[in-house]
């Protein structure tokens, strides 16, 4: 099924549970449905213990009210694969509300990860 502006708006309204959103952002997101697109390329998950060789600091941020997945369960799964990763579940926001809501909390997490 090809995305349309109406379908995009409906998806975002469902995923955010009709939360108030920035009108300009919503308009821009809807306009994305007007452009042709290729199928997204999804990289394969590294096999075995390849994660154990990762030496970089890792911070992963989840939207606590996401309709796409159970953020707490995914954060727990990440902790098993990357025990040194810093996982943060932001409350009161869904996948499509980031990075605008909750911007203050997200900014603090990102600055901490980068600093």
Per-domain residue ranges of the chain: 5-114
Share of the chain above pLDDT 70, in %: 100
Q: Is the pLDDT higher at 103 or at 38? A: 103
Q: Report which of residues 49 and 104 the model is more confident about.
A: 104
17 pLDDT higher than 80 = yes
For residue 1, pLDDT beyond 80: no
Mean pLDDT of the chain: 91
User: Nearest to residue 109, comparing CAs of 93, 15, 16?
Assistant: 93
The per-residue pLDDT for 30 is 92
Instruction: Express each pLDDT in 72-88 by its tens digit.
Output: 999 999 999 898 999 99
Helix (H, G, I), strand (E, B), or coil: what is residue 39?
A: coil
- Total-model pTM: 0.83
**Contact status, residue 90 vs residue 64, Cβ threshold 8 Å:** yes
Q: What is the pLDDT of residues 28-67, one digit of tens each?
A: 999 988 887 778 788 998 887 888 888 899 999 999 999 9
* 70 touches 56 (CB < 8 A): no
The closest of 63, 61, 62, 60 to 92, measured between CA atoms, is 63
């Amino acid at each position: 099924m090809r995305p349309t502006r109406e379908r995009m708006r409906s998806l975002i309204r469902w995923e955010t549970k009709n939360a108030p959103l920035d009108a300009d952002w919503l308009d821009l997101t809807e306009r994305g449905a007007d452009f042709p697109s290729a199928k997204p390329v999804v990289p394969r998950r590294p096999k075995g213990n390849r994660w154990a060789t990762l030496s970089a600091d890792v911070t992963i941020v989840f939207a606590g009210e996401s309709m796409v997945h159970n953020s707490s369960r995914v954060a727990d799964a990440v902790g098993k694969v990357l025990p040194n990763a810093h996982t943060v579940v932001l409350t009161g926001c869904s996948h499509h509300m980031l990075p605008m809501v909750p911007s203050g909390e997200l900014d603090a997490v990102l600055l901490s990860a980068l600093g």
